[in-house]
């Protein structure tokens, strides 16, 4: 009977351990939406399915963060944020949000008023330096300045703002004051006009959608336009300012795991969701000021942030369960003797 009892106990503990591991694994696979909160010098995290506030991912001023704008995960799975008011790029742990280092030091390579960043096909970091009308390249591993990838004013850039690489490995970027999207051919090193907006649009952040087309947030026009991803021809006004939900100026359009389009509205302090196929308004996904959001900025989706305390508790629980299992085996061994 003791043998049967011990076997049952071991099986139960093993199942409990596996259940705990499954819960943790499931949580790690969940997604979150990270939003820059410019006024509070922080990055906040929200549940990607419900929009419910999770926690501050990067606490206010962590690592000297002052005016967070563009943010993204790097090839090393860490989290990179432009600190606008210090002209630097800070790096944080991609799971906990803990500060690691100043990846690109203040003013490196002439960096002045950076707005957007992206990692290129070569693994290096590209940053729009709006005050110098140029795009700078930094080593993707060390953060050291490499070169002026796009020379000041190239192709009439005034100034370069949002930037993304296309499937053709060329660099696309918005030129805010000329109401254009330009393309820099990496082979010829020539910049040409890819798409032309309307006067007063002031295009900001850009993104390529699942359909391969280019979506542009127009800061002054309070809308998002869609352009053919191959020809640059205007397709339509994809997301408009219905019910005044983008009155505060759309900062960044980004497609979520559900295929819908999410747009942050700076002065409205919220994030709006549109149908990813039709552009129809769905809802205000993150309400105004939720979790302390103030001046909603750049967006990125990623794994649910890991809480250090919860992680320690989970690991401690599993260790304790394992200890109980060993303890039961020791007791059984002594009884046999």
Q: What is the pLDDT of residues 32-73, one digit of tens each?
A: 999 999 999 999 999 999 999 999 999 999 999 999 999 999
Give every strand in the sheet of 99-104, ordered side by side: 68-73, 79-83, 88-92, 99-104
Average predicted confidence (pLDDT) for the chain: 87
Residue 113 · residue 130 · CB < 8 Å: yes
More confident residue, 300 or 1: 300
Say which range, 164-173, 190-199, 306-315, has the weakest mean pLDDT.
306-315
Average pLDDT over residues 159-179: 97
| pLDDT tens for each residue of 183-198 | 999 999 999 999 999 9
> CA-to-CA distance for 74 and 182, rounded, in angstroms?
24
Q: Is the pLDDT of residue 12 over 70?
A: no
> CA-to-CA distance for 331 and 25, rounded, in angstroms?
32
| pLDDT tens for each residue of 206-233 | 999 999 999 999 999 999 999 999 999 9
Can you give the pLDDT at residue 307? 78
Contacts of 123 (CB under 8 A, 6+ apart): 75, 140, 141
**Roughly how many angstroms between the first and final C-alpha of the chain, as a whole number?**
16
Angle at 265 between CA 260 and CA 268, to 5 degrees: 130
Please give the DSSP secondary-structure letter assigned to residue 304.
P
Least Cα distance to 203 among 171, 172, 166, 243 occurs for 172
Count Cβ atoms within 10 A of the Cβ of residue 121 and give its class: 0-12 exposed, 13-18 middle, 19 or more buried: exposed
Least Cα distance to 213 among 193, 235, 196, 191 occurs for 235
Can you give the pLDDT at residue 243? 87
Kindly give the pairing relationship between strand 42-47 and strand 31-37.
antiparallel
Residue 220 · residue 186 · CB < 8 Å: no
Contacts within 8 Å (CB) and 24+ apart, 104-110? 104/138, 104/143, 104/145, 105/143, 108/138, 108/143, 108/144, 108/145, 109/136, 109/138, 109/145, 109/146, 109/147, 109/148, 110/134, 110/136, 110/148
> CA-to-CA distance for 241 and 311, rounded, in angstroms?
42
Contacts of 120 (CB under 8 A, 6+ apart): 126, 137, 140, 165, 171
Count Cβ atoms within 10 A of the Cβ of residue 319 and give its class: 0-12 exposed, 13-18 middle, 19 or more buried: exposed
Count Cβ atoms within 10 A of the Cβ of residue 147 and give its class: 0-12 exposed, 13-18 middle, 19 or more buried: exposed
> CA-to-CA distance for 118 and 124, rounded, in angstroms?
8
Can you give the pLDDT at residue 248? 87
């Amino acid at each position: 009977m003791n043998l049967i009892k011990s076997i049952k106990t071991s099986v139960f503990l093993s199942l409990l351990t596996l259940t705990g591991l499954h819960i943790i694994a499931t949580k790690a696979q969940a997604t979150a939406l990270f939003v820059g909160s410019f006024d509070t010098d922080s990055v906040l995290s929200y549940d990607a399915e419900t929009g419910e506030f999770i926690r501050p991912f990067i606490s206010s001023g962590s690592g000297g963060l002052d005016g967070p704008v563009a943010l993204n995960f790097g090839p090393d799975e860490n989290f990179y944020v432009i600190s606008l008011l210090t002209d630097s790029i800070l790096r944080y742990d991609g799971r906990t949000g803990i500060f690691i280092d100043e990846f690109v030091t203040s003013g490196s390579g002439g960096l002045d008023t950076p707005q957007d960043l992206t990692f290129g096909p070569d693994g290096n970091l590209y940053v729009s330096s709006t005050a110098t009308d140029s795009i700078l390249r930094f080593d993707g591993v060390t953060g050291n300045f490499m070169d002026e990838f796009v020379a000041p004013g190239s192709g009439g850039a005034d100034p370069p703002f949002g930037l993304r690489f296309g499937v053709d490995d060329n660099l696309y970027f918005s030129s805010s004051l000329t109401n254009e999207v330009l393309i820099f051919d990496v082979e010829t090193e020539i910049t040409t006009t890819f798409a032309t907006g309307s006067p007063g649009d002031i295009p900001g952040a850009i993104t390529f959608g699942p359909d391969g087309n280019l979506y542009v947030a127009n800061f002054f026009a309070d809308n998002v336009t869609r352009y053919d991803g191959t020809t640059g021809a205007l397709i339509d006004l994809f997301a408009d300012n219905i019910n005044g939900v983008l009155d505060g100026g759309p900062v960044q359009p980004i497609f979520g795991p559900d295929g819908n389009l999410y747009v942050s509205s700076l002065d409205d302090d919220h994030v709006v969701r549109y149908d990813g196929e039709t552009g129809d308004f769905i809802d205000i996904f993150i309400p105004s000021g939720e979790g302390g959001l103030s001046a909603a900025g750049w967006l990125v989706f990623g794994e649910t942030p890991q809480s250090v305390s919860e992680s320690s508790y989970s690991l401690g629980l599993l260790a304790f369960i394992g200890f109980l299992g060993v303890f039961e085996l020791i007791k059984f061994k002594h009884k046999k003797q």
